[in-house]
Structures are given as structure tokens and as C-alpha cells.
Amino acid sequence: MNKKKVLAMVTALALVAVVGIGATLAYFTDKADIQNVITMGHVDINLTENKVEKDADGEYVPVGETELTEEGLTFEDVVPGQTVPKNPTITVEEDSENCYVRATVTVESQDIDKDVLDLLTKKLTDQILSTAGSNWTYNDKDGYFYYGSELKAAEKAVLFETVTIPGEWDNAVADKSFSIKIAAEAVQSKYVDDVLVKDGEKVIGWNLTAEDIQEYEAKEEPKTE
């Protein structure tokens, strides 16, 4: 599935404004028309992570820094306590306006109990918030992780870098699978102070109305591990 997410306060469009300038003198009149074409900008982000492969010891390792995928990763024969590389990264595209970003992380399974999965969800949440230099804040009112500062074109925000399977898991999860779904969104950073919730200078929420949300571009399906 495509993991790209685009969320814009305005859509791309062109407007034409006609301004008439007139002056009346004693004996002469003059009039000139000027057409002004205004092209709206857009917000564009991408959600990727490094590809992985197994090394000689059978451990999953990243495949170079530039080997990226938008298709999600698959890990097989993982055991409790094992750590695998997974670094979902939000990148602002080169032609995008500056923006704020947020993300959701959801752990799901059709055959593992939710209370078992909640342990992994908590570990991932703690990992995101406790990483050295982390600029993420979790808003338990809407379930989003918010990146606290503005991102400019070509800048990145990494949600986490690894996933550690809880050592407390036991034979109850043997031969079963689960998915980590990640969805990312962005909103322009200029002229939106009235819809942002801040703690000092740090953004900790977007207080958007239903009408605001309707103006966003359609979202694609979230990222799946």
C-alpha cells in the first residue's frame, strides 16, 4: 500500500483578479486593466522507511541509508525480546510549503488479544517520547503524536528506529502475526496559529473543526508492517 500522506489547508488552484485603474483629467480619460494570477501553494509529505534484510546470523538489518520503501516491511520468525529495525520517517517534499506534522501508530492483529498488543503499543509510545532529542508529544485526546516544531522542505522527522517485541510475550503468540500501522499528516505552518494548540513554542495539537478537515485532500490508506 502507498504510505504517502498529503494534508493541505488549501488546495492548488489559480485565481484571476482584475483590477481597474482609472484617472479622469480635465480633458482626457484613461483606463488600464491588470490581470493578477495567484497560484496557491501546497503541503506534500512522504512516509518511508529503510528496507531490511537478514544478515549471516539471521538477524534483520537495514539495507543502506538510501534503500527506502513506502510499501511497509515484513518480518518472519521473530521471537519475544527480539529487536528489529524499523524507522518510519516523514519527509517534507522539495516543493512543499513549510508544515507541521503528526502521526498515529496502531498495533493490530486478527489472532492476538488486544490486551497483549497493548503492551507493545505502550513500549512504542514510550520509545517515541523518550528518545534523546525527541521533539514528539503524544496527545491522548486525539491519539496523535505531534512533532513540536515546523519542518521545512527536505527536512525529516523520524518516529522511531527499532521495534522490540515484548519479552513478556509467550507461547500464546506463537505462529501468529500482527501489524504496526503508521499514518502521517501535515498542515501548513503559516497563518494557522488559530488552529494550533501549543505548549510555549511547541505544537502539541491541531484544534481543527469539521469544516477545516473537509478541505483537506483525501487521505490514502495507512502504512502497514
**Tens digits of residue pLDDT in 162-182:** 999 999 999 889 989 999 999
Length of the chain (residues): 225
The percentage of residues in the chain with a pLDDT greater than 90, rounded to a whole number, is 43
- Residue 134: pLDDT over 70: yes
pLDDT category of residue 3 using cuts at 50, 70 and 90: very low
**Tens digits of residue pLDDT in 181-221:** 998 888 888 888 888 899 999 999 987 666 655 655 445 44
123: which 3 cell numbers?
A: 513500549
pTM of the model: 0.78
Instruction: Give residue 138's pLDDT.
Output: 96
Instruction: Give residue 184's pLDDT.
Output: 87
Quote the CA–CA distance of 83 and 89 in Å, as a whole number.
18
Higher pLDDT, 132 or 154: 154
Question: If you average pLDDT over every residue of the chain, what do you get?
Answer: 79
**Tens digits of residue pLDDT in 27-82:** 443 444 555 666 566 888 888 999 999 999 999 999 988 898 888 889 998 999 99
